[in-house]
């Protein structure tokens, strides 16, 4: 049976390898001319546990992530977070990682570069292949690894119900590595993250990369970022971080990353989305390497389980069976991402002064700050909440009640995500989607 993986993304390459090992005829179509010409010339934070799970070593040049220093919207407050050394994330270079995953996949699958996937082929109510460079390629399963703006997903019929995003659920990020200014004094803080930088909806950062020759700069905003916004943010970062030199050594490009809850419908007959196509990044951070690798694994595991039960032919890739893959995604991390998205939206809606006060106070301990820094949910017990109220005083009671309401809504989103129907039925799946999406003020197909 034929499997087409559209895009040599992280999740797509993992799925290609795992599905190839199950005996399927797998082809990966990638638009870039080669691995070296793929866009991501930078590193991202990944917990090493995912590499242990997949039986892989950390890619070369990976290094342990250092602690963050948080800066409030208008630069008035600085808060340090001390990294848990035993469970620290590592900064993993994307290009060595892509090469490692491509090498593993190429042992059991074909990877075709310079191949642009243009749309899905639809026949008898299912995805039956793809159009690539103007030619039709038939497939029993199409794995969508084309990213947040997947043309493949956009070409699917609305009745398939596959989720689509709103523009304010996309993080538009400029990423560049600047040569370090040798004349600048060594900074007091080596990893500064600016929350709602300049009061705008997004973040920026300036990180002194080891071994100290480059400064890692990011400017990201929700929905859109025009040249004026980028220039203003860069000027502010350079003024506050004089180690940022003038020469860009790596990067210097803008990318689009989903920052929202996972797709509530990431499968259809003959179709499954992984990675950014399924919105699997952590909503607070936009980091998605680990979840994409896990998703590619879960997809292949699901198919393999049905094969072991004697399911054959196209039935393996019916929506009712691929739904089990989505259930696993929500069970492992998707439900938590639903809760994190509520927190992200709540923080962005907060008054800048409240954010500054929370960061500057000692109400949040290091572990709680660490949960936020890692893009996790913040869970505070009723007893701890009461202690924080007493500590803050009655003048801040209204503010704390609002924060608590956000945290409780986050927990509701987590529980609704966890409550995904274990077996697929169109009516029950739609009902679950509606209940979850109401928390975000949305309807189905979102």
What are the backbone dihedrals phi and psi of residue 20, each rounded to the nearest 5 degrees, phi first? -60, -40
| pLDDT, tens only, 302-314 | 999 999 999 999 9
E strands in 31-169:
43-46, 63-64, 69-71, 78-80, 90-93, 110-113, 117-123, 126-132, 135-138, 141-144
DSSP 85: G
Confidence of residue 64 (pLDDT cuts 50, 70, 90): confident
Strand order from edge to edge, sheet including 25-30: 110-113, 25-30, 2-6, 141-144, 271-273, 267-268
> Whole-number mean pLDDT of the chain?
91
Least confident piece of the model among 1-15, 71-85, 136-150, 280-294: 71-85
Confidence of residue 47 (pLDDT cuts 50, 70, 90): confident
What are the backbone dihedrals phi and psi of residue 43, each rounded to the nearest 5 degrees, phi first? -120, 155
Topology of domain 2-63+89-163+260-332+423-435 in CATH is FAD/NAD(P)-binding domain (3.50.50)
Res. 214: pLDDT tops 70: yes
| pLDDT, tens only, 263-289 | 999 999 999 999 999 999 999 878 899
Res. 442: pLDDT tops 70: yes
Q: In the chain, where are the structural domains located? A: 2-63+89-163+260-332+423-435, 169-258, 343-415
Least confident piece of the model among 19-23, 38-42, 72-76, 220-224: 38-42
Least confident piece of the model among 38-52, 201-215, 403-417: 38-52
Confidence of residue 184 (pLDDT cuts 50, 70, 90): very high
Q: Are 300 and 269 in contact (CB under 8 A)?
A: no
Confidence of residue 81 (pLDDT cuts 50, 70, 90): low
More confident residue, 40 or 434: 434
Q: What is the mean pLDDT of residues 207-229?
A: 92
The architecture in CATH of the region 169-258 reads 2-Layer Sandwich (3.30)
| pLDDT, tens only, 374-388 | 667 777 777 777 777
The confidence score (pLDDT) of residue 330 equals 98
The label of the residue with tokens 């939206």 reads: 345
**Residue 241 and residue 283: Cα distance in Å, rounded?**
27
Q: What is the mean pLDDT of residues 242-247?
A: 96
How does 100-110 read in b/e, with b if 16+ C-beta sit within 10 Å?
bbbebbeebbe
The percentage of residues in the chain with a pLDDT greater than 70, rounded to a whole number, is: 96
More confident residue, 366 or 22: 22
Res. 113: pLDDT tops 90: yes
Q: Are 93 and 101 in contact (CB under 8 A)?
A: no
Q: What is the mean pLDDT of residues 108-125?
A: 97
Q: What is the mean pLDDT of residues 102-106?
A: 96
Q: Are 74 and 98 in contact (CB under 8 A)?
A: no
Confidence of residue 85 (pLDDT cuts 50, 70, 90): low
Confidence of residue 37 (pLDDT cuts 50, 70, 90): confident
The confidence score (pLDDT) of residue 258 equals 96
Q: What is the mean pLDDT of residues 69-95?
A: 79
The confidence score (pLDDT) of residue 61 equals 82
**Residue 281 and residue 292: Cα distance in Å, rounded?**
8
The confidence score (pLDDT) of residue 386 equals 73
Measured between alpha carbons, how far apart are the two ends of the chain, in Å?
31
Res. 407: pLDDT tops 90: no
Q: Are 177 and 39 in contact (CB under 8 A)?
A: no
Q: Are 407 and 401 in contact (CB under 8 A)?
A: no
Q: Which of 421, 427, 435 is nearest to 261 (CA)?
A: 435
Res. 373: pLDDT tops 70: no
| pLDDT, tens only, 322-355 | 999 999 999 999 999 999 999 999 988 888 888 8
**Residue 165 and residue 333: Cα distance in Å, rounded?**
19
One-character DSSP codes across 132-176: ETTEEEE-SEEEE-S-TT-HHHHTS-GGG------GGGEEEEEEE
| pLDDT, tens only, 289-305 | 999 999 999 999 999 99
E strands in 236-320:
244-258, 267-268, 271-273
Do β-strands 214-222 and 63-64 pair in parallel, antiparallel, or remain unpaired? unpaired
Confidence of residue 443 (pLDDT cuts 50, 70, 90): confident
Confidence of residue 82 (pLDDT cuts 50, 70, 90): low
Confidence of residue 83 (pLDDT cuts 50, 70, 90): low
**Residue 201 and residue 437: Cα distance in Å, rounded?**
22
More confident residue, 433 or 360: 433
Res. 76: pLDDT tops 80: no
More confident residue, 363 or 103: 103
In a 3-state reduction of DSSP, which class is residue 259? coil
Four-residue CA torsion sign, 356, 362, 366, 368: negative
């Amino acid at each position: 049976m034929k499997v087409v993986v559209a895009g040599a993304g992280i999740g797509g390459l993992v799925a290609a390898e795992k599905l190839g090992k199950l005996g399927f005829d797998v082809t990966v179509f990638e638009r870039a001319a080669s691995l070296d010409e793929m866009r991501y010339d930078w590193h991202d934070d990944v917990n090493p546990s995912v590499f242990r799970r997949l039986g892989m070593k950390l890619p070369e040049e990976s290094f342990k992530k250092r602690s963050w220093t948080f800066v409030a919207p208008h630069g008035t407050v600085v808060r340090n977070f001390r990294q848990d050394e035993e469970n620290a994330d590592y900064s993993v270079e994307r290009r060595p990682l892509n090469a490692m995953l491509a090498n593993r996949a190429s042992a059991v699958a074909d990877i075709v570069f310079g191949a642009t996937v243009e749309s899905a082929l639809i026949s008898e109510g299912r995805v039956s292949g793809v159009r690539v460079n103007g030619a039709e390629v038939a497939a029993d399963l199409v794995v969508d690894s084309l990213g947040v703006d997947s043309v493949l997903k956009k070409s699917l019929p609305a009745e398939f119900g596959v989720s689509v995003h709103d523009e304010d659920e996309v993080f538009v990020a400029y990423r560049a590595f600047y040569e370090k200014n040798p004349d600048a004094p060594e900074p007091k803080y080596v990893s500064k993250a600016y929350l709602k930088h300049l009061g705008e909806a997004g973040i920026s950062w300036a990180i002194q990369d080891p071994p100290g020759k480059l400064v890692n700069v990011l400017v990201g905003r929700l929905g859109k970022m025009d040249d004026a916004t980028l220039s203003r943010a860069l000027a502010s970062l350079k003024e506050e971080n004089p180690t940022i030199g003038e020469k860009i050594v790596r990067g210097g490009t803008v990318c689009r990353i989903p920052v929202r809850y996972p797709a509530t419908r990431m499968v259809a007959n003959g179709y499954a989305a992984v990675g950014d196509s399924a919105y699997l990044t952590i909503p607070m951070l936009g980091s998605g390497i680990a979840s994409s690798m896990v998703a590619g694994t879960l997809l292949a595991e699901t198919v393999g389980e049905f094969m072991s039960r004697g399911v054959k032919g196209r039935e393996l890739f019916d929506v009712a069976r691929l739904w089990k893959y989505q259930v696993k995604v929500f069970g492992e991390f998707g439900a938590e991402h639903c809760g994190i998205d509520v927190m992200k939206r709540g923080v962005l809606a907060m008054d800048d002064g409240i954010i500054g006060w929370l960061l500057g106070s000692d109400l949040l301990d290091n572990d709680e700050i660490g949960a936020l820094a890692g893009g996790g949910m913040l869970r505070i017990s009723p007893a701890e909440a009461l202690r924080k109220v007493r500590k803050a005083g009655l003048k801040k009671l209204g503010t704390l009640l609002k924060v608590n309401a956000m945290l409780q809504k986050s927990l509701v989103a987590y529980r609704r995500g966890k409550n995904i129907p274990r077996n697929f039925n169109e009516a029950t799946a739609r009902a679950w989607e509606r209940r979850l999406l109401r928390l975000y003020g949305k309807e189905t197909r979102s």
